[in-house]
Structure 1
Amino acid sequence: MRAGLRTRHARVRSGRTRFVGADRGRYGRGRYGRGRALSAPAALGVCAVLLAGCASIPDRGGVEPVKASPPGESQVRVYAVPPREKAQPSEIVDGFLEAMTSDDPDFAMARKYLTKDASEFWQPGAGTAVLRAAPDPAGPKEPSGSEAAGLTYPLYGDRIADVDAAHAYKPIEPTAYDGDIHLVRQTVGNTKEWRIDSLPQGLVLGESDFQRNYRSVNKYYFASGESWLVADPVYIRQRIDPTTRMDPVTQAVKVLLDGPTHWLKPVAESPFPAGTALQKGVTTLEFDDRNALKVPLNEKAAKAGRTQCRKMAAQLLFTLRDLTSTPVGQVELLADGSSLCVLSGDQAEEFAPDRATGRAVNPYFVDDHGRLSLLQADSDQPVDRSQVIGPFGTGAVKLSSVGVARDEKHAAGVAEDYKSLYVSSILADSELGDPLVTSGGKGQESALSAPSWDGRGDLWIADRDPAKPRLLRFTGGAGPALPVTVQGLDGARIKSLRVSADGARIALLLTKDGRNTLQIGRVERHGPKGDPTVTVTGLQPVAPQMETVTAVSWAGPSRLVVVGKEAGGVQQVRYIQTDGSTSAAGVLPGLNQVTAIAAADDDRQPLVADSEDAGIVRLPSGTNWQTMVEVGTSPVYPG
């Protein structure tokens, strides 16, 4: 092998072997420096070394050096190998960091870079620090004494998110990562070798390696005291989990049985009896040829009655939908080998987060005469527009913004002066009643926001009067106005809002010091069910990487479509998970001067937006934005 060439790992993708240089000094900064091409003899020598430590290497395809998993390279596989004899300290650090990105069982090869005590201390499942790029070791720091004191390598990078032990993702504004790796010499066999004796707990991964190894999955729980489900997004391994040795389906079942994430727990509950877990030793669950799944549980599950068991099965059916390309046929729950219940995919629909699932919905907008109008259009047909029935369709009051109830029987409209909120039927002629509330503010930014309906039939709106800002809720879309306390605003004011179909979460566009940020909060209800005290708590950022956010809409159980821009960037329309995670695939075709965005709960429906340049536009699947109506405002889907 060429002197100085210290290759430690291979990435395998679609028959192509990618060798990863661990020496970040002599041959560039590893993941960050320029790759060095291998000559044919050198490549063959590297192959010989790798074959001794890798599970499988393709025998065909090209060879190329890489520095990290390119974004979206989910098929790349990393195979870790142990440190070579008399490896230099920098090789040990680089080799360990690369081994953390592998699927090696229990990270056995990664542990070979550690001392015995460090290996016992290190718990990879304790959490993951996600950096913008792979950790860049610098150093070592100057030793404080003799070589016996060891060497410290600081790890540098921008930390953009954390994933906790419960698999919950939490984005943060980019901050400097400050972990250290410390090495000492210890006797290995007959020689003194460098090994890591102190390191950060959990995993430290660059964003591309995190996206290659993990995937987002919605697990489902019941909204507290209700009969419908709430999505709780988490991240599981793309392939076999190195720690539990479970396949993705089994991982998803396990994290569901573990209960709601810390953030969602106050507004969600699980009907699984306490202590319910998979039957001991189960690491693989397989669908049969009818796409049905049997799930063996421990004896705790046997306490569930039939009604309770059906709800448990519904949780599983909805959770598994993210993992299958075809609809799940049915789930059967077993306890101690006996069948508890069977539930089909169709039967589970009664528990759907949006009870209108399966019913076609169309977008609405306010036309150039201030009337609420319905848009009916397939992507391959001309747009058909018509005014709704009732005072909102006749122009009895000119509207500036609207919100249509999820059952499409009523709508809420804010008058064109932004001061008064009305509710009216859109299925029958009727007289326009008195406003539900009137704001003391003046102008578009200082009076009433656009209204939003949750799946319970309640209406929400923000009064942005600087003298009396408040969030208001109307039970069943009728008065009186009920103020809702929002904890954690920290001087920010609500600019706009969108409530989820399940009614357990609310997306708030907040403004403070000239910057608009997007936060999501829990909607907590306490007291009598018919007259609860409602509070919004647990605010957490959804898009901290964006300098400003212009508009937002729910786009499914745990996804938002957001309009905004990063610092120094241009306006983007993109999908963001409610936990704040994103992917390159979430960026949508560009559209200028977007002031409003609307999405249906059914992702087969096109996005609709209001563009100052193009009017009311739609984005059918696989195409670009198309103008539907040249003049209009406030496009919305029911909700």
Structure 2
Amino acid sequence: MAYSACGVVLLAGCASMPDSGDLRGVESTPRQDTQVRVFAMPPQEDAKPPTIVQGFLEALTSDDPHYETARKYLTAEAAKTWQPERVTTVLAEGPGLVVEPSGGRQDSDDLLFTLTGSKVAAVDSQGAYAPAGGSYHQSVHLVRDPKTDQWRIDGLPQGVVMGKSDFQRNYMSVDKYYFASNTTPTTGAQTVAVADPVYVRERVDAMTQMVRSLLRGPTTWLGPVVRSSFPTGTELRKGVTALTPDDQNKLTVPLNDKAARIGSTVCDSMAAQILFTLQKLTPAVDEVALEARGKQLCSLAEDQADRVAVRGSVQDPAYLYFVDGKHRLVRTAADGSGGKPDPVPGVLGEGDKDLQSVAVSRDERKAAGVSIDGKSLYVESMASGGSLGNPVLTSGGATPRDRLTAPSWDTEGDLWVADRNPRDSRLLLLEQGAGEPLTVETPGLDGRIKDVRVAADGVRIALVVEKDGRQSLLIGRIERGEKSGGGPLVSVQELRSAASELEEVTTISWAGDSRLVVVGREQEGVQQMRYVQVDGSTPEGPPPAALTGVKEIAASEDDQLPLVAYSEDGIVRLPSGAQWQKVDADGTAPVYPG
């Protein structure tokens, strides 16, 4: 009740600190209710150097939109050159502060401090998050103003620095959306929307921040495989400082002249990008209108946006699939409303070939199955009739562990699988699930692929890679082109870790447009289930309910559908707001389409 209206918390910045060289921690501000606005106090008259530094660090964690209070702790020249938006460095705890002996005597007119800590992550000027490690050491230099006799900071690192708890309170992860530039979904003429997660300051007009970020373009990592509908150079109209929807939840976005000559189709695509991007922000936006030169260019409602582009999070699979006790492919209603699982139509549901793992195409017309010995991959139609054909791929690995992984379908209708044969370990692609397998180039891959999962957007892939007994979750960017002599060229570029603290990754599944669910174990820890973002950050909200002995996990990009697992109890399902429920005691290898 106390927070029913926005509160204001004043950070006094007056904690006592020593002038000598011992190490002290700067206390991180406790996580506040989301309705509380936090502001910092300016420097007090005759404040001592340590208090100036601490006050400045506290001001960095406030909700001051342009860091005006923080600048008051700087000299005039330092305030002009300091660029807080360049980078946000996240430390495990609030930065420690130590006085350097070489900074001069205690009664001198300049002092040198060092900020210390253990790095957790960094957020760059685009808002892109990247996990980081190692120690943090940066110098802060103070001088005494000869006219006012007040201490101020005249030398400091660019960007801002704060502890993890302050970062979680101040920043939020939001997906901005672009369109896949190298995929053409076989299910229709629509383009595919791709989520590009960035971090913005939560209580500093996040809506306007996100629109500006969207207009600036995708993050560097995702840029090569997506495009934006906004013409190059498009910005908010000069003088527009804030965007707010009206009482009908309609947001009007005034743009500069770069957008004045666009056609209606392009305009709808631009509006769809904004609607997708703002869908989880408050206040709600149900419609977007774009303007340029004082005239409305177009208007698009939320229920029309999904006709502009396909998003994995709004595609509704009809069924959940798994392998039953007779090693057949069976299915049950995806929403959990069905009764006893039934064999799928077609040969893979008839039990002619015992299956170990399966994948169902996103249109639910084809199925791929790996034989129980892991040696052969079959692709068959899920239509009644027909007989089992020859395998489309065969592994020469000596044991099941050294043979084929579970397959995965992309939005193009192509099938991905890895051969774990130590003598010929590789990632393979079968166009439309048939033909000669194409070896996918994987520059920078160090280890053997244990698991493969392609995102619904078709431009990102999650790989579990094993090396020296340790499994890592890596996210790569799928690039498509042509070889110099002709023929398709497919590669996975810039692999990056998404769960660096895990040393054992048991199973993974995509669980949203930019989120995965992972089952694994930290060093000397126990098995746990958690959500992770593709950028390596941890999304807000609780992890899934605990479950022991998980061997495989299946999630849909649509978070309204239950999480499903293969555990020591067989196939189990986790409906929203409930506990794990048994589906089939003898089942294995659960999958949603994809």
TM-score normalized with structure 1 length: 0.86
- Pairs within 5 Å for 1:18-417: 22-23=14-15, 25=17, 67-71=27-31, 73-137=33-97, 139-143=98-102, 145-146=104-105, 148=108, 150-172=110-132, 174-187=133-146, 189=148, 192-225=149-182, 226=184, 227-240=191-204, 247-324=205-282, 328-354=285-311, 357-376=314-333, 378=335, 383-417=339-373
| Helix, strand or coil at the partner of 2:267 | helix
Segments of 4+ in structure 1 off by > 4 A? 11-22, 29-33, 144-149
SS at match of 1:166: coil
How far is the alpha carbon of 1:68 from its aligned partner? 2.9
Aligned equivalents of 2:131, 2:169: Cα separation in 1:
18
Residue identity (%):
51
Q: Select which of 370, 377, 381 maps to 1:421.
A: 377
Match of 1:622?
577
Change (3 A) 1:178 1:500: same
Give the number of equivalent residue pairs.
579
Shift in CA distance, 294/203, structure 1 to aligned 2, threshold 3 Å: same
The verdict on how the C-alpha distance between 1:289 and 1:18 changes in structure 2, with shifts beyond 3 A counting, is closer
The whole-number CA distance in structure 1 between the counterparts of 2:4 and 2:116 is 27
Alpha-carbon distance between aligned partners in 2 of 1:236 and 1:448, rounded to the nearest angstrom: 41
What amino acid is aligned across from residue 77 of structure 2 in structure 1? D
| Structure 2 match to 1:44 | none
1:357 Cα deviation after fit: 3.5
**Native 8 Å contact 2:195 2:513 kept in 1:** yes
> SS at 1:221's partner residue?
strand
User: Do the aligned partners of 2:474 and 2:498 also contact (CA within 8 Å) in 1?
Assistant: yes
Instruction: Give the letter aligned to residue 144 of structure 2.
Output: R
Give 1:416 shift: 0.2
Unaligned ranges ≥5, structure 2:
185-190
CA positional deviation for 1:162: 0.8
In 2: Cα distance, 1:117 partner to 1:253 partner = 31
CA shift at 1:541, angstroms? 0.9
Counterpart residue identity of residue 309, structure 1: C
Partner of 2:188: none
Q: Which residue of 2 aligns with 1:52?
A: none
Structure 1 unpaired stretches of 5+? 1-10, 34-66, 241-246
Q: Distance in 2 between matches of 1:18 and 1:117?
A: 27
Q: Partners of 1:338 and 1:68 in 2: how far apart?
A: 48
1:492 to 426, 438, 447: 447
More off after superposition, 296-305 vs 359-368: 359-368
- 1:509 matched to which residue of 2? 464
Alpha-carbon distance between aligned partners in 2 of 1:248 and 1:17, rounded to the nearest angstrom: 20
SS in 2 for 1:212: helix
Preserved CA contact (<8 Å) 1:419 1:442: no
C-alpha distance after superposition, 1:344-393 (max 9, x if no partner): 222221344447935343311111111111123756x6743111111211
CA 378–525 in structure 1, closer or farther in 2 if over 3 Å, else same: closer
CA distance in 2, matches of 1:282, 1:219: 20
Residue 586 of structure 1 deviates from its aligned partner by 4.1
Contact 1:31–1:134 (CA<8 Å) still a contact in 2? Answer: no
1:539 is displaced (CA, Å) by 0.8
AA at the equivalent of 1:332? A
- Please give the per-residue CA displacement for 1:70-113, whole angstroms capped at 9, x wherever unaligned: 35753443221112122222111111110101122421211111
Task: Describe the shift of the 1:325–1:398 C-alpha distance in structure 2 as closer, same or farther (beyond 3 A).
Answer: farther
Q: 1:567 to 1:198 in 2, by over 3 A?
A: farther
Q: Please report how far the alpha carbon of residue 342 of structure 1 lies from its aligned counterpart in structure 2 after TM superposition.
A: 2.1
Contact map agreement 1:71 1:584 (CA 8 A) in 2:
no
Contact 1:377–1:384 (8 Å) recurs in 2: no
What's 2:511 paired with? 555
Change (3 A) 1:637 1:289: same
TM (norm. structure 2) is 0.92
User: Is contact 2:370-2:406 (8 Å) kept?
Assistant: yes
Distance 1:356 1:15, change over 3 A: closer
Instruction: Give the counterpart letter for 2:199 in structure 1.
Output: Y
